[in-house]
Amino acid sequence: MKALTGAKGRAAAVLSSLVTPQRLPAALGLAGAILMLLGAVLPWVVGADSDTLSCGFHPDAATGAPALGSRAGLPGGDALVVVLTGTAALWAAGLLLIGRGRSVHRATLIGAAVLGGAWAALDLAETGTVGDRAGRLLDLSTGPGPYVVLVAVLLLLASGVLTRYDAESELYVRTERANRLWNNGRSGEALEMQQCTVRAARRSPGRNHPSTTSASMGLIWMYAWAGWPDRAAELARQAFEDAGQWASEHPEDYRRLRADIAEILG
């Protein structure tokens, strides 16, 4: 009994650590993505003639092969669309959860919600109104699939709306990606990416922000190791000048910056 109580306590602790105010949007996105994928394997239509259609994960009536659905009687691929949108949302929410999310991932969540929701709404409107090849209306009604997808849409929209653009986090993620490219021997791509990151940082949060200085230091290091000391020295001069705006508030970081620049430039 104590072991069971302890296991429940640990599970609750893990859940509470995941669903923090900062991670709530990502948790909502994950829940929405999972529901979206679940909607793909549930029936999208039910009724006397539902066996003649392949809706959701259901054997195709003509071939007997497993299929991913049709639009309530129209050739299409409901479940395939839902699988793609759900997978995209799962990818975006997962990156948000581990702190590697960017503004593009917020857009992905909203886009997946809009596309999945439109597809489900179209099915709800068309179910029972589409005839077969002979023009006979099929005896069909809506199954649980579209409704599950619509619940997922609400969660994904909430996730996208609650996710806030964090310029500092995005700069960190982009710098880390450039560092990985550099470490993998793709120095040209790494340099180009870090140059773009520094330009973006100067726009937001601004030239005089510590995060911009940090991004600039990454590019200074790359210039120095790539054999461009003049570029490294010029960028170091600019970064050091800009850092003077926040030096009084972060004196220890400012001293470390001076030491790092001296070490890189030799």
What DSSP letter does each residue of 70-87 carry, written as one string?
-BTTBSS-HHHHHHHHHH
For 181-211, how does the pLDDT look when each residue is reduced to its tens digit (9 = 90+)?
A: 888 889 889 899 889 888 888 887 888 888 8
Q: What is the pLDDT at residue 141?
A: 76
Average pLDDT over residues 60-68: 57
Instruction: Give the pLDDT mean for 47-73.
Output: 57
Please return the burial class of 113, using the count of CB atoms within 10 Å of its CB with bins 0-12, 13-18 and 19+. buried
Rounded to whole angstroms, the Cα distance separating 72 from 170 reads 42
Does this model's pTM top 0.75? My answer is: no
CA distance 42 to 144: 6
Query: How far is CA 195 from its chain centroid?
Result: 23
Mean pLDDT of 128-154: 77
* Fold that domain 20-162 belongs to in CATH: Butyryl-CoA Dehydrogenase, subunit A; domain 3 (1.20.140)
pLDDT above 90 covers what percent of the chain?
11
Classified as helix, coil or strand, 137 is strand
- CATH 1.25.40.10 domain span(s) along the chain: 167-265
DSSP label of 45: E
Express each pLDDT in 88-137 by its tens digit: 999 988 887 776 667 788 889 999 999 888 888 887 887 777 665 566 67
CB 2 within 8 A of CB 51: no
Residue 74's pLDDT is what? Answer: 38
Q: Does domain 167-265 have CATH number 1.25.40.10?
A: yes
Pairing of strands 45-46, 141-142: antiparallel
Is 9 strand, coil or helix? helix
Query: Per residue in 220-260, pLDDT tens?
Result: 988 888 888 898 889 888 888 888 888 888 888 888 888 88
- Where do you find CATH 1.20.140 in the chain? 20-162
